[in-house]
Structure 1
Amino acid sequence: MTKQARAEQTRSLLLDAAADLLHRDGYANTSMVDISRAAGVTKGGLYFHFSSKDEICDEVQDAAVAVLHAFVARQLTTPSPALRRLADLGYALMSWIDTDARVGASFRLAREMGAQDVRFVAFTRAWLAQVHRYVTEARASGELAATAPLDIVTLLLVVTCVGLESVVASHTVTLESDLVDTLAALWRLVDLSHPACRTP
């Protein structure tokens, strides 16, 4: 293995460890020492790649944004109504929160740290922008009533997803099913689309 390949592998190990810890324990309870220990990398090796915990948080969110963009790119290869893509994006997000530590960590960072520094809401803002894009497309294609306020429709969908993540993470409620199934049930209660375009 070349020196560059080893460096890339070490960086990847550190990012994976950071995402796991941030998702599980949150920002305040995750230290640089914790990250280096979890990754099996010396503290010096960690600081060679990252100068601070905040820098690692930035990269974790960048990785989560890449997951989002890759999913949207795949969606665009198969033409479908905007509301169908919006619903699928919501289901994907709920699945990622459970299965992808990069996304889970990014959501937790926004919830815990977003009020202190906007750097911690990079992923959630990218996701919000995509939701608004799909809502705007749905209006343009006639899937949403012309009188439906775009910002309010966007907010409704975002609050639903963010609220689900928050109440489950805080153990406020215990779901009988997973986040994807719960969002699907909630989505069926929200009559936003033209009947012909409703998701099953």
Structure 2
Amino acid sequence: MMSGLGHTPCRSRRETMGKTVTKQARAELTRLLLLDAAAALFYRDGYAATSMVDIAREAGVTKGGLYFHFSSKDEICDEVQSAAVAVLRGHVARTRGSRPHLRRLAGLSRVLMGWLAEDAKVGASFRLAREMGSNDPRFAAFVRAWMGQVRADIAAAHGAGELSPHVRPDMAALLVVVTCVGLESAAASGTIPADTDLASTLSELWRVIEAARPADSAAAEATGT
């Protein structure tokens, strides 16, 4: 699931760096190259095993060039998570207003599983939270943003009558969070095969949830009301 993450963006940015660009554009490309490299290493090796020298080497940037952009590894962690949050916010903005709310949340959950396989920034943010979040809440910035969106969608679904009256919104949100985190952890640890399609696996959860919806909510969706 994690092999090769971050290398394609790094390579494409290096190719761009080889072209004639302005000094400001070159500085921005270097910064992005460093973030790509840091995300790939944090996701693959974890925070403790990744050094500033490792990041500079992975990006093909001098150590001085690295410190010109980032003063510490923690600062890079913050930037990686900010980039991941931007990915989340972009998806939420594109799907805002869509109904029903549960289906929108199901879509977000499946997209998240895709990001874990394809976007090192999101994968790194999950690993940072898993390994370092109990030591410092700053490492859980992305996960907190994602959990907040889960709770908001569940609350909206509850308000729209999409949840069975027997389902507590806080417990429904917890179920979604625990399932997604559990799948990520199981894939990262090798508990499940590395080629497991996490998005398809998660779809099974949503089949169970949708089966528990009130009959009038299901009927309303079928008629488009």
TM-score scaled by length of structure 2: 0.83
* 1:120 paired residue number: 139
Taking the TM superposition and a 5 Å limit, the aligned residue runs for 1:104-119 are 104-119=123-138
Which residues of structure 2 form unaligned runs of 5+?
1-20
Shift of 1:174: 2.2
> Does structure 2 conserve the Cα–Cα contact (< 8 Å) formed by 1:83 and 1:193?
no
Taking the TM superposition and a 5 Å limit, the aligned residue runs for 1:18-29 are 18-29=38-49
2:137 counterpart of 1:156: no
* 2:113 aligns with one of 80, 94, 97: 94
2:16 counterpart of 1:9: no
Give the structure with higher Rg (CA): 2
* 2:94 aligns with one of 50, 53, 74: 74
Shift of 1:192: 4.3
- Partners of 2:114 and 2:55 lie apart in 1 by 25
Distance 1:65 1:2, change over 3 A: same
DSSP 3-state at the match of 1:116: coil
- Partners of 2:195 and 2:36 lie apart in 1 by 29
* 1:130 paired residue number: 149
| Equivalent position amino acid for 1:80 in 2 | R
* 1:169 aligns with one of 188, 193, 196: 188
Distance 1:192 1:55, change over 3 A: farther
- Partners of 1:175 and 1:188 lie apart in 2 by 24
Q: Deviations over 1:86-125 (max 9, x none)?
A: 0000000000000000000000000000010000000000
- Partners of 1:152 and 1:42 lie apart in 2 by 49
* 2:84 aligns with one of 55, 59, 64: 64
Shift of 1:175: 6.5
> Does structure 2 conserve the Cα–Cα contact (< 8 Å) formed by 1:91 and 1:180?
yes
| Equivalent position amino acid for 1:134 in 2 | D
Q: Deviations over 1:21-74 (max 9, x none)?
A: 111111111110010001010000000100111110000000000000000111
Which residues of structure 1 form unaligned runs of 5+?
none
After TM superposition, the structure 1 stretch with the greater mean CA deviation from structure 2, 170-179 or 85-94, is 170-179
TM-score scaled by length of structure 1: 0.94
- Divergent runs of 4+, >3 A: none
- Partners of 2:72 and 2:175 lie apart in 1 by 36
Distance 1:132 1:50, change over 3 A: same
**Paired residues, number:** 197
Distance 1:192 1:26, change over 3 A: farther
* 1:145 paired residue number: 164
- Partners of 1:122 and 1:155 lie apart in 2 by 18
